[in-house]
Amino acid sequence: MRLMPVLGAAAALVAAAPALAQAKGTATASSPGGIVSVEVSTDGDGRALYAVSRNGKPVIAPSRLGFLFTDVAKIDRRLEITGTETRDFDDTWTQPWGEWTSIRNHYRELKVHLRETTALARVFSVTFRIYDDGVGFRYEFPQQPNMAKTNIAEELTEFAFAQDGTAWWKPAFLWNREEYLYNKTPLSAVSNADTPVTIKLADGTHVALHEAALVDFSGMAVSRTEGTTLRAALHPGAGRPKVEKTGAWNTPWRTLIIADNAPGIYHSHLMLNLNEPNKLGDMSWFKPGKFAGVWWNMIKGEWTWARGPKHGATNENVKRYIDFAAANGIPQVLVEGWNVGWDGDWFGNGNDMDFAQPTEDFDAKMLAAYAKKKGVRLIGHHETGGAASHYEQQFDKAFKFAADHGYMVVKTGYVTDAGQIERVDPDGTKYREWHQGQWMSNHFIRVAEAAAKYKIAFDSHEPIKGTGLQRTYPNWVAREGMRGMEYNAWPGKNPPEHEANLVFTRMLEGPMDFTPGVLSLKGSDDSNILSTIAKQLALYVVIYSPVQMVADTPENYAKYPGPMKFIRDVPTDWSETRVLNGEIGDFATIARKQRGGEDWYLGAVGDEEARSVSFKLDFLSPGAKYVAEIYRDGDDADYRTDKRHSIVIEQRRVSSADEMSLRLAPGGGAAVRFRRIK
Ligand code: NOJ
Ligand code: CA
């Protein structure tokens, strides 16, 4: 860690910086490059307000801070600023895996101390970390006589946007958790939204509102109060307040990424930087990579998770998938429905699930040996059906079983409606928790710690939202948390703009297990997926995850040897990432450099309209030669017709001095490998 020399090593929190000309009761500070500024003040009623501007122009107008409690008077008026501290921080750290190897964390911190002027005289601070591309802030309450225990009824933090704009958001507090399509509305028409909410303000400035380091707290949704003002709306607790705390406590970071355009939003590292460093130590045991899966046939309804004549996880099927993986250099195979517990109605009812007890037709020992011989590892699946306490009770045996059979990754799932997670307290009392509540935020930390003991990484479906915790717990390698490919198996498919939405919304949370690569473009009952085949390839680059599924069946892949070559080649771990262009919900082009290699890969996705995307190849090493292996939509490709499989695969010599233009068909995309040659 390198602190700015003026401050000295031990002086982590020091010195009111002279740059802060303070009107009485006002604190201000700006980011290292002077781009983003924060001002904290109190009004005539003693309400504490913060405001954020960028290049001198307001982004967040003065907005309230405060809390409601279930048992004592709220904190929001009769406050005074009693002091401020600032410090500068500049450090570069390394990710064990990710979209970038190296991450710079460069901010100015402003800590504002506040005190109530009432008899309660409660004190707290609000700490702002101000970056050139946004700001994160959190409340910090020290231990104090009048707050031995804290029971939060609601957080009163407001985000009063200074202008209207267009917002991309998904509804909060509805039954299907995070799995809704994005709404695109005026900011002034948002209702209840889960974060991230991404907004293009009227002047073109892009802002993403989210939170970082969601630990021991309830997830923050937002509700619009009036005009363009959103206010925090915490997820409920079950049989207790939304958030319960003892002694000193703080909130997660409330984050605003601010940039000129959509690619600028994606390039921010604020989310990762606001999380604590790796707590798990050596992660060299986790190797990013692709996985095949005994899965798509279940999702399509042709096989079952439960035992019976259509059971998917049979020895024969699993061996066939292992053979397929080995033949294609795919290091892992997911198997679902391999364990006892699926036979009844498992949806929302996982109390029969046993993650150390295979079914009779899944010979775990034999399959582990078979996989090992072929250089493949299995991925165990732990579907909890929302019975999270039941899962916790079998953590040790479940992760031991996985480790004993050579697994490196497990996929977890919490399939039940929102607000229906089963928590069982030590006295046997049952409660129904929210996927995004405080108890679940702690549950996931318990999963990370329990799995890490056995060197197991996990990929959680129906999870709590991503808030950059993969920095602190790098075995939490991916999650779902939005509508993935599975929706393309079912009626009501993802529309062509879905992935161009995801890039600038869901993907700000971190890796997504989207499960790309359904080259057959077929869901259940022979239904058509609303995509071209080239777009399926593009998804391997555009939608980031260190564990990336090769989701279709071996039989289907055998029909498409040309496109399959790209899936074989594309890695899942990157040293560098550049979003070359993009507009939310319209298109996005992303280039990434293979970690530990010299090749670059590029993916471009569009929406329902045909368009061309053009970009410079100046990300390639100057002077070096490359062969661009291009997989693009055929001239007649169209997701609405029987030409959705039309693809052109061609090669071209290129260098960093060149430009490239790719035509995307309706529902289309393109993928390119830039292979460096001598
Ligand atoms: C929903 C998950 O998203 C999917 O991947 C999984 O196969 C099913 N639940 C069953 O666990
Ligand atoms: Ca799901």
Q: Ligand 2 centroid to 82 CA: how many Å?
A: 48
pLDDT value of position 11: 32
Q: Ligand 2 centroid to 326 CA: how many Å?
A: 27
211 lines ligand 1 (CB under 6 A): no
Structurally, what CATH architecture does the domain formed by 9-273 represent? Distorted Sandwich (2.70)
Distances (CA, A) of 317 to 224, 311, 320, 362: 50, 10, 5, 10
Is-contact 505 592, C-beta < 8 A? no
Distance CA 202, CA 187 (A): 10
DSSP one-letter code for 350: -
pTM for the full predicted model: 0.96
Query: What count of other Cβ atoms lies within 10 Å of the Cβ of residue 1?
Result: 11
Task: Tell which one of 382, 383, 483, 515 to mutate to probe ligand 1, the residue whose CB is within 8 A of the most ligand atoms.
Answer: 383
CA-nearest of 506, 451, 453 to 480 is 506
- SS3 track for 537-604: HHHHHHCCCCEEECCCCHHHHCCCHHHHHHHHHCCCCEEEEEEEEEECCCEEEEEEEECCCCCEEEEE
CA atoms within 13 A on the CB side of 359: 23
179 lines ligand 1 (CB under 6 A): no
Protein residue with least CA distance to atom 3, ligand 1: 461
Beta carbons within 8 Å of 625's beta carbon, 6+ residues apart: 653, 655, 676, 677, 678
Beta carbons within 8 Å of 501's beta carbon, 6+ residues apart: 168, 181, 182, 584, 585
Distance CA 22, CA 28 (A): 7
Which amino acid would we find at residue 341?
A: G
Distance CA 582, CA 261 (A): 8
599 lines ligand 1 (CB under 6 A): no
Is-contact 531 521, C-beta < 8 A? yes
- All CATH 3.20.20.70 domain ranges of the chain, comma separated, are 290-481, 484-499+517-543+571-678
Beta carbons within 8 Å of 558's beta carbon, 6+ residues apart: none
Distance CA 632, CA 537 (A): 9
DSSP one-letter code for 524: G
Distance CA 94, CA 468 (A): 14
Domain 484-499+517-543+571-678 has CATH 3.30.450.20: no
336 lines ligand 1 (CB under 6 A): yes
Task: Tell which one of 486, 490, 545 to mutate to probe ligand 1, the residue whose CB is within 8 A of the most ligand atoms.
Answer: 486
486 lines ligand 1 (CB under 6 A): yes
Distance CA 408, CA 48 (A): 48
Count of all residues that appear for the chain in the document? 678
447: region left, alpha or beta (phi > 0 left; psi from -120 to 50 alpha): alpha
Query: What count of other Cβ atoms lies within 10 Å of the Cβ of residue 156?
Result: 18
Distance CA 66, CA 76 (A): 5
pLDDT value of position 24: 59
3-state secondary structure of 369: helix
Report which ligand 1 atom has the smallest distance to the Cα of 336: 7
Which residues neighbour ligand 2 (ion) by CB within 5 Å?
461
Distance CA 185, CA 167 (A): 5
pLDDT value of position 286: 98
Rg from Cα positions in the chain:
25
The correct CATH number of 290-481 out of 3.30.390.50, 3.40.50.2300, 3.20.20.70, 3.10.20.600 is 3.20.20.70
Sign of torsion, CA 285 289 292 298? positive
H/E stretch holding 169 reads strand 165-171
pLDDT value of position 184: 98
Task: Tell which one of 298, 461, 488, 514 to mutate to probe ligand 1, the residue whose CB is within 8 A of the most ligand atoms.
Answer: 461
* DSSP per position, 235-302: PPPSSS-SEEEESSEEPPEEEEEEESSHHHHHH--HHHHTSPP-SS---TT---EEEEEETHHHHTTS
Q: Ligand 1 centroid to 134 CA: how many Å?
A: 35
- All CATH 2.70.98.10 domain ranges of the chain, comma separated, are 9-273
Which residues of the chain are modeled with pLDDT < 70?
1-24
Q: Ligand 1 centroid to 607 CA: how many Å?
A: 26
Residue with tokens 């593009």: 538
* DSSP per position, 446-507: HHHHHHHHTT-EEEESS-PPP-STTTT-TTEEEE--S--GGGGTSSSPPPTTHHHHHHTTGG
Distance CA 557, CA 15 (A): 63
Q: Ligand 1 centroid to 178 CA: how many Å?
A: 14
